Amino acid sequence: MRFSLGALAALLPLAAALPQITRTGKYLYDPSGTRFYIKGVAYQPQGNLAVSTTANEANGGFPEPSDFVDPLSSAANCTRDIPHLKDLGVNTIRVYSVNASLNHDSCMSALDEAGIYVLLDVSLPLNGSIDRASPSWTTSLLNEYTRTINAFNKYPNVLAYNIGNEVINTVNNSNAAPFVKAAARDTKAYLASINSKALVSYAAVDTDLEFRNALADYLTCGNDSVTVDLYGLNNYEWCGQATYANSGWNVITQGFSNLTVAAFMSEFGCITAGPRQWSEVSAMLSQPVSDVFSGGIAFSYFPTSDNYGMVTFGSDGTTVNSDFTALGRAYSNATGPNSPAQSSQSNTALECPPVSPILAASTQLPPTPNEEVCNCINKDALSCTAIPATANNPIKVGALINQACGLLAQTNSTISCNAIAGDGQTGTYGPLAMCSPNIKLNYVMSAYYDANPVATSCDFGGNATLSTSRECPLSAAAAQSAAEACLAGKPNTFTPTASEAPATGSASPSSPAASSSSSKPSAGRVGALLPTSSVVTLFLGAVGLFAGAAVVIA
């Protein structure tokens, strides 16, 4: 039997919008002061897998979707799935990728009426997330995040916005951590500015003990303005008849016990043997695990190429498997303890760890990306710009940046590509490190042209042209003066504002009905732009510009 979404809504109990869940200290509470535990499932169909680049693999990267299916834009799919989600007993779904330009009213309303919150990742596959191989926090990423937040801000059942999934997974790319933390800082500031009470989360990969704890401490340390509210761990270690003592959960729980924010299992479920029994659910929702964790997200509702899924779709409808039945039974039999009381909790700060061989992450955070500054420099100080077709091709932009930087290094110019680089290990960030890849490309091409002012220096295989916005290109000295004017007096951090510009550099969304399979996402995007070990100098050699560009975690 088929139901329309309207018919489904009619079958659901009439109720007000889901109550706002808030964090006090290291726990989640509803408005009555009752502890809230996430009983969730991952809800993301699979996109096509992209081949990871050598640079990404060298920095711990994984293949990831080159496109995605937005599961919240299809009323038909939500009509099909919500009854099964209710049968599972979930109160939360985690969605990894959405297209902010589509309409999500039907699905979000039906989920709300079904009593289901949404934990929404705001990053996108490929060029819409922080790149672990060459990390940066830029105007284009910030705009991508705020566009998604704007699209979902009207829905009361958004539990949290997840700013990254497994971006940092080894000490070799732990210099990406300051960029993730800057994203949390600016996302929280933006949410506050639009009166949103949604939480901000991060989902970490499960690694060795010391690195796992060090990363958790780093992303949850400092004052409340720079920490995530929810710290997630993707953990698949509890299998078969495991117990708290031999699953490794005892070590994880002890290691996270000092966190001052809420922790949760952002993905869980055995992936080495089946059928899954989900005995970890009863442990997760009872002491001592519940003293530290506030529930978790089981992986995955949709079928996957690795057989993690719980349902299959056919001409006769949806078929659930034994994993589905066992998870539903586990969720229905588990209720977390309602302690400690909210009145006994408060938000406190954890002291930040120093840079160490375990975690090469500075407490100096990148500045808030300033689109006004970047656009000003692009318009007034740069003479050589990418043609539109090239500017809209993220892979080509990255390759051309590397080419232009290589050419610039061969000149006798005092100008370098350090102005567009950021080093999260030392906490030094060039004044253009916050700008979009397109503006970074225009900068390095212009720098090369200024060092070799002949027409062929602004060609780059037909991908660039001299600016037509002025009668003649600026000299290096004039460009420096223009840059100084753009940068003068600008703050390091501020509350971001919404951008209505079209999305740039992100993977293309598939049709909502294009796929019915899923794969475990990983958010370190494919394609490095620049190494991040450079010692950063200042734009066009202008000593003193953007002084104090790094921000210390307080």
What amino acid positions are annotated as catalytic residues? 166, 267
Q: Give the CA distances from residue 382 to residues 412, 439, 449, 475, in Å, rounded to whole numbers and listed in that order.
A: 19, 9, 10, 10
In this structure, the strands spanning 364-365 and 551-552 are antiparallel
Tokens of 380: 């007034």
Tokens of 64: 């990831």
Say how many Å lie between the first and final Cα of the chain, rounded: 57
Contact call for residues 157 and 117 (beta carbons, < 8 A): yes
Give the phi and the psi of residue 118 in degrees, each rounded to 5.
Answer: -120, 125
Whole-angstrom distance, CA of residue 284 vs CA of residue 271: 18
Whole-angstrom distance, CA of residue 376 vs CA of residue 9: 49
Whole-angstrom distance, CA of residue 30 vs CA of residue 160: 14
Sign of the CA dihedral with 155 first, then 157, 163, and 166 last: negative
Q: What is the DSSP letter of 260?
A: S
DSSP string, 9-68: HHHSPP-PPPPPPEEETTEEE-TTS-B--EEEEE-----PBPPPPHHHHHTT----BSEE
Whole-angstrom distance, CA of residue 390 vs CA of residue 443: 15
Quote the longest CA-to-CA distance of the chain: 75
Closest alpha carbon to 305 in 96, 517, 516: 517
If one counts every other C-beta atom within 10 angstroms of the C-beta of residue 448, the result is 27
Whole-angstrom distance, CA of residue 113 vs CA of residue 69: 23
Q: What is the DSSP letter of 531?
A: -
Q: In 342-496, which residue ranges form alpha helices assigned H by DSSP?
A: 371-380, 388-391, 394-409, 437-451, 476-487
Whole-angstrom distance, CA of residue 512 vs CA of residue 547: 47
Whole-angstrom distance, CA of residue 320 vs CA of residue 323: 8
